[in-house]
A and B are shown apart, each in its own frame.
Chain A
Amino acid sequence: MLLRIKEMIIKEFIQVFRDKRMLGIIFITPVLQMLAFGYAATTDVTNISTAVYDLDKSFESRELVQRLESSGYFRVKVHVEHADEIQDLLERGKVIATIQINSGFSEDLKKGIPSSIQVIVDGTDSNTATVAMDYINRIIMEYSGDLNRNIETRNPTIDLRARAWYNPDLRSRNYNVPGVIAIVIMLTCLLLTSMAVVREWEIGTMEQLMVTPLRPIELMLGKTIPFAAIGFFDMLVVTIVAVFWFNIPIKGSLPGLALNTAVYLLSVLGMGLLISTISRTQQQAMMATFLFYIPAVLLSGFMFPIENMPQIIQYGTYINPLRYFLVIIRGIFLKGSGMDILWPQTLSLLLLSIVVVTLSSLRFKKKIR
Chain B
Amino acid sequence: MNNEAVAIRTENLLKSFGDYRAIDNLDLDIKRGEIYGLVGPDGSGKTTLMRLLTAIMEPDSGQAWVAGHSVVTESERVKEKIGYMSQRFGLYEDLTVIENIIFYADLYDVPRKERPERIERLLGFSNLTPFKARLAGKLSGGMKQKLGLACALIHTPEILFLDEPTNGVDPVSRRDFWKILYDLLKEGITIFVSTAYLDEAERCTRVGLIHKGKLLAEDDPAAMKKSFGYPMIALWADDPRRAIEVLKMVPGIKNISIYGDRLHIALESPELMETIVFELQAAGIVMKSYRNIIPTLEDIFITKVAGDE
Chain A contributes a number of interface residues (CB within 8 A of B) equal to: 24
Q: Map CB proximity to B onto A337-369 as digits: 1 under 8 Å, 0 otherwise.
A: 000000000000000000000000000001111
Within the assembled complex, what's the spacing in Å between the Cα atoms of A4 and B55? 21
CB neighbors of A among B94-115 (8 A): 94-95, 99, 102-104, 106-109
Contact B94 A211 (CB under 8 A): no
B91 contacts the other chain (Cβ, under 8 Å)?
Answer: yes
B56 part of interface (Cβ distance < 8 Å): yes
Partner of A15, one of B83, B86, B95: B95
Task: Determine whether A205 belongs to the interface, using a CB cutoff of 8 Å to chain B.
Answer: yes
| Chain B residues closer than 8 Å to A209, beta-carbon distance | 107
Interface range for B: 20 to 34
Cα A19 to Cα B151 with chains together (Å): 23
Q: What A residues does B106 contact at CB under 8 A? A: 3-4, 6-7
Residues of A within 8 A of B107 (CB): 4, 7, 209, 212-214
The complex places the Cα of A212 from the Cα of B152 at a distance, in Å, of 9
Which A residues lie within 8 Å of B91 (CB)?
Answer: 205, 208
Interface residues of B in 41-89 (CB under 8 A from A): 51, 54-58, 75-76, 79-80, 82-84, 86, 88-89
Alpha-carbon distance between A369 and B51 when the two chains are bound, in angstroms: 10
What separation, in Å, do the CA atoms of A64 and B103 have in the docked complex? 75
Digitize A17-28: 1 where CB-to-B-CB distance is under 8 Å, 0 elsewhere.
011000000000
Selected from A203, A204, A214, A368, the residue in CB contact (under 8 A) with B57 is: A368
Decide: A211 near B88, CB < 8 A? Known: A3-B106, A7-B103: no
In the assembled complex, B93 has its CB within 8 A of some CB on chain A: yes
Indicate whether A160 reaches chain B with its CB closer than 8 angstroms.
no
Please, which residue of chain A has its CB at the minimum distance from the CB of B90?
Answer: A208
Across the interface, do B79 and A212 meet the contact criterion of CB distance under 8 Å? yes
State the CA gap A246–B103 with chains docked (Å).
44
Taking CB atoms and an 8 Å cut-off, the chain A residues in 280-303 that contact chain B are none
> Which B residue's beta carbon lies closest to that of A207?
B86
Which of A4, A203, A205, A211 sits near B56, CB closer than 8 Å?
Answer: A211
Q: How far is the CA of A14 from the CA of B57 in the complex (A)?
A: 30
Q: With a CB–CB cut-off of 8 A, which chain A residues contact B103?
A: 7, 11
Asked if A210 is at the interface of the complex by the 8 Å CB criterion, the answer is yes
Name the A residues within 8 Å of B58 (CB-CB). 367
Main SS class of interface, A: helix
- Tell me, rounded to whole Å, the shortest Cβ–Cβ distance linking B14 to chain A: 16
Is the CB of B178 closer than 8 A to any CB of chain A? no
B86 near A204: Cβ-Cβ < 8 Å? yes
Which chain B positions have C-beta within 8 A of A11? 92, 95, 99, 103
Shortest Cβ gap from B95 to chain A (Å): 6
Task: Report the separation of the CA atoms of residues A213 and B108 in the bound assembly, to the nearest whole angstrom.
Answer: 6
In the assembled complex, the CB of B59 is this many whole angstroms from the nearest CB of chain A, namely 11
**Residue contact B104 to A210, C-beta cutoff 8 Å:** no
* Residues in A whose Cβ lies below 8 Å from that of B109: 3-4, 213
Residues on A with C-beta less than 8 A from B82 are: 211
CB distance from A88 to the nearest CB of B (A): 65
* Given A3-B106, A4-B107, A7-B103: A204 touches B56 (CB 8 Å cut-off): no
What B residues does A210 contact at CB under 8 A? 56
**Given A203-B93, A208-B84, A368-B51: A213 and B104 interface contact (C-beta under 8 Å):** no
Q: Contacts of A366 on B, CB cut-off 8 Å?
A: 56, 75
In the complex, the answer to whether B108 meets A207 with C-beta atoms within 8 Å is no
Which residues of A are at the interface with B, using a C-beta cutoff of 8 A?
A: 3-4, 6-7, 11, 14-15, 18-19, 203-205, 207-214, 366-369
- Please, could you name 19 A-B residue pairs with CB atoms under 8 Å apart, sorted by A? A3-B106, A4-B107, A4-B109, A7-B102, A14-B95, A203-B92, A204-B88, A204-B90, A205-B90, A205-B91, A207-B90, A208-B84, A211-B54, A211-B83, A212-B79, A213-B109, A214-B107, A368-B56, A368-B57
